[in-house]
Every structure is written in C-alpha cells, then in structure tokens.
Amino acid sequence: MDDDDEAPRLALGGKFYMTPAGHATLKAERDQLMRVERPRVVELVSWAAGNGDRSENADYQYGKRRLREIDRRARFIGKRLENAEVVDPAHQTQRDRVFFGATVTYIDESDAERTVTIVGVDEADMGHGKVSLTSPIAIALIKARARVGDEVAVHTPRGIETMEILAVRYPVAEV
C-alpha cells in the first residue's frame, strides 16, 4: 500500500490533533475532577473509614472505586493534553480546501444537506455536527482536499456514497 492510500493519522509523532476549544474543555474537565470531585470523594471516604468495618461499608467501597475512576480519567486526560497538537482552524491559510477544523456543508446521495466540523477524536459529537478526524467522512474530505463543487466518495458501512461539497468554512481569527 502506498502513502496516498493511507488515512490521515490520528497522531503525528505521538501528538493528537485538537482544536483550542477541545483543549480547553479537556483542561476544564481535569481541573473539575482534581479540584472539586476528588476532594469531595476523599472527604466521603475519610468519613466512611471512620465508621468502622470497611469490608461492609458501601460508602467506603463506592468512594474508593470512584477515586480510582477519577484518577484513571485524570491520568488519561493528562497524557492527552501532554501529547496534544493544538491546531487553530482560524489560522488556516488555504480556506477554500478541507483540512482539520473545517466546517463543511454537503449534499449526500439522498439529497439531504448536512454540515459537519472536523475536530479531534476527543471532541467528536455527532449531535452537534462535530466529526472525528478519523471518521470515514473526514478521511475522505481531507484526503481529497475537497473544494466547493467537488464530489467526494466516502467509504461507509453501507458502501461507497458520493457527496457534493456546497461550502467550506473556517472560524475567523480574532484580532
């Protein structure tokens, strides 16, 4: 398989692509876990431990389990942030083509108009039109370096579907 057939990489040199908003959201989640939730659970575990037999103390057992969950999630987020490659789509110079951070409006084969924004894996949320950089649609659009008017073939679980690009937008850089 030659390089042209490879999908865009999730991580480049161990870095994970992420928008500034996605980076801020992960930092806020880690701060919430470590500054609010963890101290509250530590207090509950300490109180429960003082109540005697820990083997039959549900508050103690639940609290210890919750502490492990919080620590595991905080470690995961910490590693993600450490290896994050924050890319601000507002600074994209080729604004007529699809790259990471683009908001793309297209028409699919059933004549349904859809709009998606290509974001990092941790930011994907189809309910809000945010698709992962590694999703089939993002891979097809980026690989094709699609422009308005282009038709792009997307490999989906239902087979190959064609879409026509109606618009490519990027956020405006704040001055």
pLDDT value of residue 101 = 94
- pTM of the predicted model, to two decimals? 0.78
Q: What is the largest CA-CA distance in the chain?
A: 71
Tell me the per-residue pLDDT of 47-91, one tens digit each, with 9 for 90 and over. Answer: 988 887 777 788 899 999 999 999 999 999 999 999 999 999 999
Class of domain 11-86: mainly alpha
Residue 72 sits at φ, ψ, to 5 deg, of -65, -45
Give the Cα separation of 159 and 31 in Å (integer): 42
The conformation of residue 144, written as its DSSP 8-state character, comes to: H
Quick one: pLDDT at residue 14?
61
DSSP codes of every residue in 71-96: HHHHHHHHHHHHTEEE--GGG-S-TT
pLDDT beyond 70 at 8: no
136: alpha, beta or left, given left = phi > 0 and alpha = psi -120 to 50?
A: alpha
Percent residues over pLDDT 90 in the chain: 71
- Which segments within 5-102 are labelled E, that is strand? 11-12, 15-18, 84-86
The CA-atom distances, in angstroms, between 32 and each of 27, 36, 74, 78 are: 9, 5, 10, 13
Residues of the chain with CATH 1.10.287.180: 11-86
Residue range(s) occupied by CATH 3.10.50.30 in the chain: 89-169
Q: Say if residues 81 and 16 touch (Cβ distance below 8 Å).
A: no
Rg (CA), the chain: 22
| Residues 86 and 80: beta-carbon distance below 8 Å | no
Topology of the domain covering 89-169: Chitinase A; domain 3 (3.10.50)
